[in-house]
Homo-oligomer: A and B are copies of this chain.
Amino acid sequence: MEQKLARLKAILGEVADLNHVAALLGWDQQTYMPPGGAEARGYHLATISRLAHEKFTSDEVGVLLEDLKKETRGLAPDSDEARLVKIAARDHEKSIRVPPEFVAEFAQATTKAHEAWVEARRNSDFAAFRPHLEKILELQKRYISFFPPADHPYDTLLDNFEPGMKTAEVKEIFDTLRPKQVELLQAITSSAQVDDSFLHQAFPEKEQWDFGVDVITKFGYDWTRGRQDKTAHPFTTSFSINDVRITTRFMEEFLPSALFGTMHEAGHGMYEQGVSQAYERTPLADGASLAVHESQSRMWENLVGRSIPFWEHFYPGLQERFPAQLGNVDLQTFYKGINKVEPSLIRVEADEATYNMHIMLRLELEIDMVEGNLEIKDLPEAWNAKMEEYLGVLPPNDAQGVLQDIHWSGGMMGYFSTYALGNLISVQLWEKIGQAIPDLPEQIRQGKFDALLGWLRENIHQYGRKYEPQELVQKVTGSKITPEPYLRYLQSKYNDIYGL
């Protein structure tokens, strides 16, 4: 067994190298690559991805995994070795179920769909995107058909982002969440609105950059094992546990964009920096799921970054950097401004109280599409109806409606709910942390985050991908993913801000 494990790890190490190299190719493409490099970059990525796929789906890996699944039965089921074999076997089975011709067809279709989507969104022309989305839905259904029947066909898609999670579980969570969030939103929109006009001024980029760096340095983002660059769309990527990079986008006329974006990506980044060094070059060196990943980014962005204790520490420094813009804005006004709730059309600009509504809408539409109950031609209408129902706003055009997100054009169905689940997990963890570190608000008020980061490292980060998301949340909080803590958090926060 030792020998087979060593051989498996050697191959998985090379697969990890190739995947990390592909990630670097992507990072460079979005940060520094000159436009002329685009065509060649396509070839680089195709070659590296194909080699990674070939290496991972080889017969040798298949045989090793079959043998090791049996031979590791004697090990503790929670041992790193047993988990490594289990996760590698799951990934391997998924990879070999999907025929290479399908992978190629999918890549081609999504490349074309992405280009069509960019154009369609620019011209608010859903008809131009429609055939591409129809093709993608057809491919998603075909993808599902490669797998054994699940409780719900959508499970197969969801599992790629939330391993082990079922559609029924997500539905149940959202069914509890939806009416409460709608109710809360109605209460907020019936109250007097807060002012955030001071956030819409000219904030020089360099000062924004420097302030963001100060903040995430105090958080504990490790610059010897990471860096920050500018991109059109912010993201976190890693080429090793010890080389985890974040990117940020700056808007000179709206302070919150880069400010909270930087904290958000640093949250992702610290997660990946915190994975056990023993997992380097293994499939365990990643987040447990997209939702768990999102719980980390949202915790630093919202639970820390949009809180009163945080700004009691940081606001004087922010005012010093922007005296003309914020010198006359007091802390309470600023705090309310950055927490303003306003039903709006665009998901990525949504506040904490409305964000999940955007997600629920998308999940419901995706499930309807996969079930065959919603045709693509009827999608814009369905979208708009739900926007009115949940948020009380109606998109004036499809660019600000059904065409706003990049995900479907890239063939990513099953992805959206992870954003909302991440919000829920973040508060479940936060309640637990509050018990473990009773003076956390006071620590934050003093700009101290080491106990918080230490807790996250110990309870979440170090495990990487070892546990499935529900398993990890259960292990840490004593319960599976549940909406109550998040609802308590929203209620309490907006009671204060809107005097509900």
Contact = CB atoms under 8 A, between A and B. Distances in A.
Interface of A: 13-14, 17-18, 20-21, 24-25, 28, 32-37, 39-41, 43-44, 46-48, 51, 222-227, 229, 239-243, 245, 280-281
B227 A40 contact: no
Nearest to A43: B17
A242 B226 CA distance: 29
Contacts of A48: 17, 21
22 contacts: A13-B43, A17-B43, A17-B46, A17-B47, A17-B48, A18-B47, A20-B44, A21-B25, A21-B44, A24-B25, A24-B28, A34-B227, A34-B243, A35-B225, A36-B225, A36-B226, A36-B240, A37-B239, A39-B240, A40-B239, A40-B281, A51-B51
A258 B101 CA distance: 51
A243 to B, nearest CB: 3
B40 A280 contact: yes
Quickly give the copy total for this chain.
Answer: 2
B24 A240 contact: no
Q: Which 7 A-B pairs have the closest CB atoms?
A: A37-B243, A40-B240, A36-B225, A36-B242, A17-B47, A14-B47, A36-B224
Nearest to A227: B34
Nearest to A16: B43
A243 B17 contact: no
A224 B34 contact: yes
Contacts of A24: 24-25, 28, 44
Contacts of A28: 24, 28
A224 B35 contact: yes
Given A21-B44, A34-B227, A36-B240, 10 more contacts: A24-B24, A24-B25, A32-B229, A36-B224, A36-B226, A37-B239, A40-B241, A40-B281, A41-B239, A51-B51
Nearest to A48: B21
A32 B239 contact: no
A235 to B, nearest CB: 16
Contacts of A47: 14, 17-18, 21
Nearest to A20: B44
A19 to B, nearest CB: 10
A240 B280 CA distance: 31
A269 to B, nearest CB: 11
A35 B17 CA distance: 18
A63 B41 CA distance: 29
Contacts of A240: 36-37, 39-41
A226 B179 CA distance: 54
A445 to B, nearest CB: 31
Contacts of A224: 34-36
B18 A227 contact: no
Contacts of A33: 243
Contact of A20 (B34, B39, B40): B40
A34 to B, nearest CB: 5
Nearest to A13: B43
A47 B12 CA distance: 12
Given A20-B44, A25-B21, A47-B18, A37 B280 contact: no
A21 to B, nearest CB: 5
A20 B24 CA distance: 13
A14 B46 CA distance: 9
A280 B39 CA distance: 11
Contacts of A242: 34, 36-37, 39-40
A422 B25 CA distance: 33
A227 B14 contact: no
A34 B245 CA distance: 9
Contacts of A41: 239-240, 243
A36 B243 contact: yes
Contacts of A14: 47
A222 B34 CA distance: 10
Q: Which residue, A37, A41, A46, A227, has most C-beta atoms of chain B within 10 A? A: A37
A34 B223 contact: yes
A227 B35 CA distance: 10
A222 B40 CA distance: 16
A24 B37 CA distance: 12
A18 B28 CA distance: 16
A398 B223 CA distance: 37
A272 to B, nearest CB: 12
A265 to B, nearest CB: 15
A497 B34 CA distance: 41
A36 B239 contact: no
Contacts of A37: 225, 239-240, 242-243
Contacts of A227: 32, 34
Q: Which residue, A225, A241, A242, has most C-beta atoms of chain B within 10 A? A: A242
